[in-house]
């Protein structure tokens, strides 16, 4: 029996009683998936397509932009603004929101995205990804352009979330609130085919992902958690742990979805600043993790309950195996 395509899966979801995936949402997700195929093609060309390297510009966070950041951002805007499914878009790469131009029909959804997560990996041929989050536009936006405040909804309001990962295989991982499903891009026929799902995070796996370069910024509780696991069988836990870090949240979270463990990117203990963006990274990944049976917190509180106060707000992130997340939260609470 052939593996169902993404379109077939979404149509089946649309036909379910009390469906969480109406036709307009299905068409929006299919448009995003087509854009990700184009992004994948651009990445695969590498230096031959002049997509490697940096530009003489910075994004709103003050980070030097990679060529691919801008290319992917423009591809997602161009693909999604004319279809009639959206009222507006917001991107990690843009300071302000992107209302749908008046020359196009407007829809009932809002799209937020990180066009290229882990873009520093592109130049050395490591995995990168695209992360997206879909919200309903508030009803009062009918008849007017959307505003920044319309996007500032807590993560539990998301109607869908997902990511594409551009690696040895090109994958899309998606939830519309009924579990998490993985699709693989079949390059020969140009379609996404379901290859796994519903995904459930394996529990009890001794693996963690954290950026060791930031250890000076960790709280004593995070330092203790990591040190106990680095010591392995010779330490207080008496068991060995694996540590992995790819500098791409998509790649690290995908591994946790498939293999278990915990991902940590805590806020800076010295000044309370965090690295990951709530709307473009933490919220969509937290929805996926929770739909797969995991937990996602800022170290104390559920991420999906966080009330956004700005488009580019940052937050600490601890997500994955709920048992490990609870251990981290407990150690932070006891500190």
Annotated binding-site ranges for Mg(2+): 92, 114, 116-117, 281
Compare 44 and 236 and report the one with higher pLDDT. Answer: 236
Whether residue 129 is predicted with pLDDT greater than 90 in this model: the reply is yes
282 within 8 A of 296, measured Cβ to Cβ: yes
31-52 pLDDT, tens digit per residue, is 999 999 999 998 888 777 776 6
The matching CATH number, chosen from 3.40.50.720, 3.40.50.1820, 3.30.2020.10, 3.30.540.10, for 6-196 is: 3.30.540.10
Q: How confident is the model at residue 259 (pLDDT cuts 50, 70, 90)?
A: very high
Distance CA 173, CA 194 (A): 9
Find the range with the poorest average confidence among 2-6, 58-62, 208-212: 58-62
Strand runs labelled E in the chain: 54-58, 64-66, 86-91, 98-99, 109-117, 128-136, 160-166, 170-175, 181-186, 191-196, 207-210, 242-244, 262-265, 276-277, 295-297, 314-315, 317-320
Domain ranges of the chain: 6-196, 207-334
For the annotated binding site for substrate, the residues are: 117-120, 211, 275
pLDDT at 50: 73
Confidence band for 73, pLDDT divided at 50, 70 and 90: very high
- Mark the binding-site residues, compressed into ranges: 92, 114, 116-120, 211, 275, 281
φ/ψ (deg, to 5) at 259? -115, -10
**Is the previous residue joined to 164 through a cis bond, with omega within 30 degrees of 0?**
no
Q: Is 318 helix (H, G, I), strand (E, B) or coil?
A: strand
Q: Is the pLDDT of residue 98 over 90?
A: yes
CA distances from 17 to 12, 21, 286 (A): 10, 10, 26
CATH of 207-334, one of 3.40.190.80, 3.90.480.10, 3.40.50.300, 3.10.450.50: 3.40.190.80
**Quick one: what percent of the chain has pLDDT higher than 70?**
94
Q: How far is the C-alpha of 253 from the C-alpha of 163, rounded, in Å? A: 10
62: confidence class by pLDDT, cuts 50, 70, 90: low
* pTM reported for the whole predicted model: 0.94
* pLDDT tens column, 303-312: 999 999 999 9
Closest among 74, 83, 100, 73 to 28, alpha carbons compared: 83
At residue 140 the predicted structure's pLDDT band, cuts being 50, 70 and 90, is low
């Amino acid at each position: 029996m052939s593996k169902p395509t993404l379109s077939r899966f979404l149509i089946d979801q649309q036909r379910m009683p009390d469906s969480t995936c109406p036709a307009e949402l299905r068409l929006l997700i299919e448009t995003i998936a087509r854009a990700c195929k184009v992004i994948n093609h651009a990445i695969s060309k590498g230096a031959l397509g002049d997509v490697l390297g940096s530009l003489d510009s910075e994004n709103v966070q003050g980070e030097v932009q990679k060529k691919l950041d801008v290319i992917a951002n423009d591809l997602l805007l161009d693909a999604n603004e004319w279809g009639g499914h959206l009222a507006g878009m917001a991107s990690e790469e843009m300071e302000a929101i992107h209302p749908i131009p008046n020359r196009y029909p407007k829809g009932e959804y809002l799209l937020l995205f990180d066009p290229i997560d882990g873009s520093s990996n592109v130049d050395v041929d490591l995995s990168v990804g695209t992360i997206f989050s879909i919200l309903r536009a508030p009803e009062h936006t009918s008849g007017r352009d959307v505003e920044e405040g319309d996007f500032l909804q807590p993560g539990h309001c998301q109607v869908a979330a997902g990511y594409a990962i551009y690696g040895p295989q090109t994958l899309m991982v998606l939830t519309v609130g009924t579990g998490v499903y993985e699709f693989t891009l079949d390059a020969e026929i140009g379609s996404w085919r379901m290859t796994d799902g519903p995904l459930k995070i394996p529990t009890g796996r001794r693996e963690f992902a954290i950026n060791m370069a930031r250890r000076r910024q960790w709280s004593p509780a995070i330092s203790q958690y990591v040190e106990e696991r680095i010591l392995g069988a010779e330490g207080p836990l008496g068991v060995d742990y694996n540590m992995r870090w790819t500098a791409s949240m998509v790649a690290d979270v995908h591994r946790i979805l498939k293999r278990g463990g915990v991902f940590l990117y805590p806020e800076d203990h010295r000044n309370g600043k965090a690295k990951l963006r709530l709307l473009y990274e933490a919220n969509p990944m937290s929805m996926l993790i929770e739909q797969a049976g995991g937990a996602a917190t800022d170290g104390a509180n559920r991420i999906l309950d966080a009330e956004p106060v700005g488009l580019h707000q940052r937050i600490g992130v601890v997500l994955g195996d709920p048992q490990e997340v609870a251990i981290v939260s407990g150690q932070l609470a006891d500190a």
